[in-house]
């Protein structure tokens, strides 16, 4: 953009009895063309909120909001009796279930157990009993084969270590 020249004419000026016209010329800087911008969501929300506040009766709404806030604050500060009772009931049910399990299984889960492994074993037994059966059959077969091998080895050991019958010499008299 180029700079533009503007003129301004002032009123008549009298000097030494003669009338003069004063004309001022000045250069104006180029100005960019202004374009409208869209309003942001936050600004538009603020305008709408202010308009709503001016057109509605805020007194009862504000009082209800403040009362609800105070009720919530007081409820958070005092202990929740119902939640405590529900937790206590759940705890008692858990104790009863553990006692039933210990009586039925003959095991006590109180001390000395790696509880994660016990849980994994119970899950395995209840979800895939056929896999457990196959594994136990393979273990039984392996133990049976090992016991046969041990029995055969013991038998060979007995035969090699067995004392031989006493030999008598011919013609020796005693």
Q: Is residue 65 part of a domain?
A: yes
In this predicted structure, the answer to whether residue 25 has a pLDDT above a threshold of 80 is no
Q: Give residue 99's pLDDT band: very low, low, confident or very high (50, 70, 90).
A: confident
In 3D space, the residue among 121, 144, 143 whose CA is nearest the CA of residue 132 turns out to be 121
Q: Give residue 159's pLDDT band: very low, low, confident or very high (50, 70, 90).
A: confident
**What residues contact residue 2 under an 8 Å CB cut-off, 6+ apart?**
30
Q: Give residue 106's pLDDT band: very low, low, confident or very high (50, 70, 90).
A: confident
In this predicted structure, the answer to whether residue 107 has a pLDDT above a threshold of 80 is no
Expressed as residue numbers, the domain containing 71 is: 44-76
Q: Is residue 109 part of a domain?
A: no
Q: Which has the minimum average pLDDT: 9-18, 105-114, 116-125? A: 9-18
Q: Is residue 11 part of a domain?
A: no
pLDDT of residue 149: 93
Give the C-alpha separation, 45 to 130, whole Å: 65
Domain count, the chain: 1
Give the C-alpha separation, 27 to 3, whole Å: 7
pLDDT of residue 122: 75
pLDDT of residue 166: 58
Q: Is residue 60 part of a domain?
A: yes
pLDDT of residue 174: 44
Average pLDDT, the chain: 78
Give the C-alpha separation, 104 to 98, whole Å: 10
Strand partners, 6: 26
Q: Is residue 55 part of a domain?
A: yes
- Residue 163 structure tokens: 């004392």
Q: Is residue 16 part of a domain?
A: no
Q: Is residue 54 part of a domain?
A: yes
In this predicted structure, the answer to whether residue 93 has a pLDDT above a threshold of 90 is yes
**What residues contact residue 131 under an 8 Å CB cut-off, 6+ apart?**
124
Q: Which secondary structure element, helix H or strand E, spans residue 7, and what is its range?
A: strand 4-15
- Residue 64 structure tokens: 């209800």
Q: Is residue 72 part of a domain?
A: yes
The rounded percent of the chain whose pLDDT value lies above 90 is 18
Phi, psi dihedrals of residue 173, rounded to the nearest 5°: -120, 150
**CA atoms within 13 Å, Cβ hemisphere of 161:** 6
By residue count, the chain amounts to 174
pLDDT tens digits, residue range 33-76? Answer: 888 888 899 999 999 988 887 777 777 778 888 899 999 888 88
Q: Give residue 141's pLDDT band: very low, low, confident or very high (50, 70, 90).
A: very high
pLDDT of residue 23: 65
From residue 5, alpha-carbon distances to 11, 31, 100 in Å are 20, 13, 102
């Amino acid at each position: 953009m180029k700079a533009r020249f503007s003129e301004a004419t002032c009123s008549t000026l009298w000097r030494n009895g003669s009338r003069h016209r004063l004309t001022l010329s000045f250069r104006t800087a180029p100005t960019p063309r202004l374009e409208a911008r869209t309003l942001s969501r936050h600004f538009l929300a603020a305008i709408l909120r202010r308009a709503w506040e001016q057109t509605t009766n805020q007194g009862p709404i504000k009082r209800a909001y403040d009362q609800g806030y105070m009720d919530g604050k007081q409820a958070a500060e005092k202990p929740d009796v119902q939640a405590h009772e529900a937790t206590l009931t759940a705890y008692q049910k858990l104790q009863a279930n553990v006692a039933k399990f210990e009586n039925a299984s003959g095991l006590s889960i109180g001390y000395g157990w790696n509880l994660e492994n016990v849980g994994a074993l119970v899950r395995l037994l209840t979800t895939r009993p056929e896999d457990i059966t196959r594994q136990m059959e393979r273990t039984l077969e392996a133990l049976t084969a090992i016991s046969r091998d041990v029995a055969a080895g013991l038998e060979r050991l007995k035969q090699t270590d067995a004392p031989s019958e006493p030999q008598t010499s011919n013609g020796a008299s005693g």
